[in-house]
Structure 1
């Protein structure tokens, strides 16, 4: 079950469900606000007729009746086909709108059918210096399929579901939060995988991903801003609702994808490293590091004195430029700076020469020349103390080496003398054992004792010879003879 919860199909289903629940929550909240704003719950029968939406539709119908139907009707030779089309257009079967046009004397000049109305609006118009009044009505019982039908039906549906909108909004909000938490938890998790693994979107640099998703969201918003007013002005409310629904769903899912990728990068610890800004700065840093490394490598090959001269020269040139810019025509600051700079360069060069002497002495001591002494008679105090310390170290090491050599010689001489002292009686023992071995001794036990003495004395002789050879090798008396050997033999 745990592996199944991290599967691709489960995540796709979660994305689909969160889109549905978020859409349901948005529609429920919008509908609740709409109901309270337009008093649909208080006066459901007249709420639509009191709305600005009804007024806009009525105004559009009234203007069409006056500038279209009435203009054609007033012509000396009107087109009868057009008049018949208008009569059919404003008939009870085709529209819920009816009207009457009255002249200044109160006479009805043109009118359509009459019925009980739920909304009335009066317009004052003028034509050829004559005034007309248009009384526009909206039938109370809206049944014809025109621009009034869909919004009127929507008002009625909202009134019927008004009591369940808040529970639906609450439930959909809870489900949306739960699905969002699940998507955050399952980010970078794969089926049958213990380690976090990046997905396709997680490999895209995060700043580029933000720009792409942000660009798509901006395009969606601009598209809705461009198309929505046209649909509203044409009273295409169904298309308008579909446009807004798909647009906001696309924006919401895009943001969810961005947050899921953000959570995955947090888990993978690649949020900052996997960005174009980081890659660019890392490339620039590596280039700068390589340049400084090259400069440092070149400087290490230059003698200390020339390094100091180059550094002081660069600093001095920079200071000189600043002084010239600030002097404004007078050469006194430049002259003072020049004399001070000469003194600084002289002292720096003298210090560099002291360092060169110390470095030369350190190199000699490092090569094993412990008798070398650094001449510190004309050095600066700190450098003089440092040179004296190196001389003391050299003396101490020379004394230690001499003592070590004395100890080694004494040890070698002691081993040689002891070996010779042991070797003389050992030779006698070996000779007498050899004489005893040549005697025809019948006792088997005595023969066994003689064999033991013979073996042990020979072993002791070999150990003594090896000890003498080791002593010679330690003291350096033995000369090594290098020969080529055939490894295969």
Structure 2
């Protein structure tokens, strides 16, 4: 036993080495096809970081473009953009200057514009509309930007006199600012102008970066959607962490979370300046996009698996309601269901008439209901007529009649399909009955013929022996058997033709043996079909057993000039089978070849091992035209030689098939023109049967 196990272990190791060599022979390119980029975990992690980074950059640049767009950097010129940038600082200075004038601090007002790129004039507009300059902080304002502020004088410190002009309370005065665009002084105006120039020069670059970042973010997003469910080394879609949650529940969780996060974010940024709002919105939008990417990846995974709708809670609830309703309705008889539907229509009609009895709409609703009810009744009547015609046709024995169920619904359609199935079943039963009767008649005819032929020969040659002995005694009596016996007793041996008696006896012996073999074949066929034969499986080497069987028929094949071509694998092939029964299978198949193969043709015998099974294939060219299907050749007493002018009883293939199936094998017959092919297959002997039969052997 240990030697046997060692041999099996060696065989298993050799097969593993062969499989390893085959895998190594596969081109590297075909093996790497399993490891796609969409299934790589590092690629997904990098894509997530790139998605977040590009989204953050895109939102920041987009917010920057919106900010400078609101300030006119895309619609106005360079100088207008600089002016708009300095407007806030200029207005703050004008308000501060006007406040100093209101308090009467004229000197401080003058000093306010020292070492700055701004000068301010206080102008009084008289009744004639002329500008009268009361206070001026600088001269030489050619090429400067002018901004005006109309402000009433409030007189916070009492009476104020400027350049011999007494300021009047609540009178409008003009404060005019002049900004030197050369910016000789380093102040806030200069810094605002420089910042405005930088923003103006970056306006198109920022737009390009925003578009590029958003496009790259979209590419990363699409890649993550495509990679959802893919893993390296696996061809199937792998479920994710969120796949177990119903789709609609997951959708509600994500979108409610997104709405809550957005609400908190907008409340948080309401107290920030513009720059802080842009940065906070960009960071919050990035976080929101990353979270929603997880959701859309899970949604894409469900779509790839084809269970997007079926994995939702709504579908499960609706399916439960549908099944529960169908179960309840299915338990209610059809008549009661019809009555319930009718009363339901009546209740609806009552409600409609009650609501619209005094209006014209009530009459229209009633008429519409009656029209619908009319079509419904007509539909039921036509459907019942179809079903009635089908049942009558089946009652008359017309099994090929079919009901057109295209326009039927519910139990009407089910009943129509049942009638169609019943008709098809009747047609099949009739066809099988006719075939069975035909086979029974043919079986009786064949058995009668095969029994009659040897019996006729036995009777005829017995008569000849009787006549020969009677003639030798010269007392032949066809009517008196006692006289015949006396004649045979009185005859002398030298008067009997011993050569003829020997010839007749040989014929009697041959026909008796033929009759005996027929009876034995009948008994064996009956036992093989019913499984009453004893089977002792053991490890058999197919090639050796087949070679021995071929050797028995070598002379008969040479007499018919049949060229035998055998193909067997180099390594021995073993199967689990009963050697006696397997020999009988080979004997029947080779005998069949010697009887019916075309003279001077080739006979092919091959042994192959394929997918854990051993195939023994017999091929030859038939002498006679094979006009029968392969399944009929497997029946008892069926022969390809319908003229039956050759010896044989038609039991060989039937017995062979039964013996093969009794040993857990398969036998298949293929007829292609004059080509006759028989394939016998058994599982390979892996030693498993022996271990199961002898569990204590280990």
Report the TM-score, using the length of structure 2 for normalisation: 0.38
Per residue, is there more helix in 1 or in 2?
Answer: 1
Higher relative contact order (CA 8 A, sep 6+): 1
Query: TM-score scaled to structure 1, two decimals?
Result: 0.50
* Larger strand percent: 2
